Amino acid sequence: MKKILSILFIISFLACSKSKEKKEVPIFNNISFKLFESEKIVDIKNQITNNYQSYFTNSNIQIPLFKCVKNKDYTIYLSIPYNTSIEELTKFQIFGKTLGQKELQTDTLSYFFKKQYIDTAYISEYSKIFDENLIYILAITNSKIISDSLFNNTELSTRLIQK
């Protein structure tokens, strides 16, 4: 009987401790991206890479895709830009053209946030420097409500965690 109770206690302890684990994507140098419960990391396959690269047509900026996070209503691309700066990223235009720009915030040195739209797609870009390395987030949804609530400057910045 003691053995059964001990096993049940251990199982319940493990179940409780696992539920408290934070879901996050490690990036580099103790920096991670916080995931919401409904999000999952997907394998980067040709279709995902092609979709991601389609946003950077006619551009010399190098922003290789690191991870892709999906939800049924949106996609988040996590990237680590190479050989570029916040200033260059701020000037960069998705699809190589000016879209319906709604918002731009930057201090020109350490971060930038840009929100745009084209047709029914709402596109948010956020980039920040951590330890002299850039992290770039590209979030895309067809929902204005999701764009305004999840993909604003405050929400995207709080999802990058430095430990």
- Compute CA 57 distance to the chain's CA centroid, rounded to the nearest angstrom: 20
Phi, psi of 84 (to 5 degrees): -145, 180
CATH fold of 23-162 reads: Protein Transport Mog1p; Chain A (3.40.1000)
SS3 52: helix
pLDDT tens column, 60-92: 888 999 999 999 999 999 999 989 888 888 888
pLDDT number for residue 107: 82
Phi, psi of 78 (to 5 degrees): -105, 130
Question: Could you tell me the pTM of the whole model?
Answer: 0.82
Catalogue the E-assigned strands of the chain: 24-28, 31-34, 40-42, 65-71, 74-79, 100-106, 111-118, 121-130, 133-141, 160-162
Domain residue spans in the chain? 23-162
pLDDT tens column, 17-44: 444 456 999 998 889 999 999 999 999 9
